[in-house]
Amino acid sequence: QVQLQESGPGLVKPSETLSLTCTVSGGGFVSTFYWSWIRQPAGKGLEWIGRIYPSGNTNYNPSLRSRVTMSIDTSQNQFSLRLSSVTAADTAMYYCARDVSGSATIDERAFDTWGQGTLVTVSS
Amino acid sequence: DIVMTQSPDSLAVSLGERATINCKSSQSVLYSANSKNYLAWYQQKPGQPPKLLIYWASTRESGVPDRFSGSGSGTDFALTVSSLQAEDVAVYYCLQYYTTPRTFGQGTKVEIK
């Protein structure tokens, strides 16, 4: 059973950089999946931030592209998000999720496994 | 970006009755090479991450009760709960994964009447 767990500071100051890590356990960190970050402000909808493939290839949401960097460490079964120059508008629950897309061997099921989420508040 | 629009924003249904949520995409999410619609449905309960219910527009995820069904093709889709149970109270989201950026509908809140 694949499990994802987000970790990182819960409070970030305005203009600083938000850094989060997602650790994958349960044997699911294989080289055929994308790994995504998604966020959700309190009481609002879901916004896809971007994704990374184990090769290091990335796709970012154009709305955030200038501030987003994702990285991956397959030896540690982890992938990470950095969001620079944060403002109060970046306050949200941040989720990591497995993105089952582009596979020729298993059903393409989009975000089939999610972490529990980590709340990040941007405030001085 | 593909814009996903759900309707209604909220609905109240009696226990045991049918609930239907609609989702419309601003462009087709049907991939002609395999005839699959890259549309998924998620259920989110308070304090929990979203849970995958349906993918490829109509394929139920393993373990999801068969009262949940998805339909539609191209740009118009629907999620139906055939007999609403108390545990189905949640916010439901559609997602297109035809292309990046992935985009979600705004959500539909389902309550008991």
Gyration radius of chain A's alpha carbons = 14
Q: Residue range A65-77: average pLDDT?
A: 94
Whether the per-residue pLDDT at B61 is higher than 90: the answer is: yes
The predicted structure's pLDDT at residue A27? 77
A108: which chain B residues are within 8 Å (Cβ-Cβ)? 36, 38, 55-56, 97
Q: Residue range A47-65: average pLDDT?
A: 96
The shortest C-alpha distance from B23 to chain A (Å) reads 15
Peptide bond into B8 cis (omega under 30): yes
The predicted structure's pLDDT at residue A89? 98
Whether the per-residue pLDDT at A104 is higher than 90: the answer is: no
Whether the CB of A74 is below 8 Å from some CB of chain B: the reply is no
Q: Give bridge partners of residue B96 from the DSSP assignment.
A: B39, B103
Q: Residue range A2-31: average pLDDT?
A: 91
Q: How far apart are CA B5 and CA B105, in angstroms?
A: 5
- Mean pLDDT over the full length of chain B: 97
Residues in chain A: 124
The predicted structure's pLDDT at residue B70? 98
> In this structure, are strands A18-25 and B68-73 parallel, antiparallel, or unpaired?
unpaired
B104: which chain A residues are within 8 Å (Cβ-Cβ)? 45-48
The predicted structure's pLDDT at residue A87? 98
The predicted structure's pLDDT at residue A61? 98
Q: Residue range A50-72: average pLDDT?
A: 96
Q: Residue A16: is it exposed, middle or buried by C-beta count within 10 angstroms (0-12/13-18/19+)?
A: middle
- pLDDT tens digit sequence for B11-32: 999 999 999 999 999 999 999 9
- pLDDT tens digit sequence for B98-113: 999 999 999 999 999 9
The verdict on a CB contact (< 8 Å) between A36 and B102 is yes
> Which of A59, A109, A111 lies at the smallest CB-CB distance from B100?
A59
The predicted structure's pLDDT at residue A105? 79
Whether the CB of A47 is below 8 Å from some CB of chain B: the reply is yes
* B-chain residue closest to A114, CA distance: B49
The verdict on a CB contact (< 8 Å) between B52 and A46 is no
> Which of B55, B103, B107 lies at the smallest CB-CB distance from A48?
B103
DSSP B102: P
B49: which chain A residues are within 8 Å (Cβ-Cβ)? 95, 97, 114-117
DSSP B61: P
Whether the per-residue pLDDT at A28 is higher than 90: the answer is: no
Strands (E), A8-91: 11-12, 18-25, 34-40, 47-52, 58-60, 68-73, 78-83
The verdict on a CB contact (< 8 Å) between B40 and A110 is yes
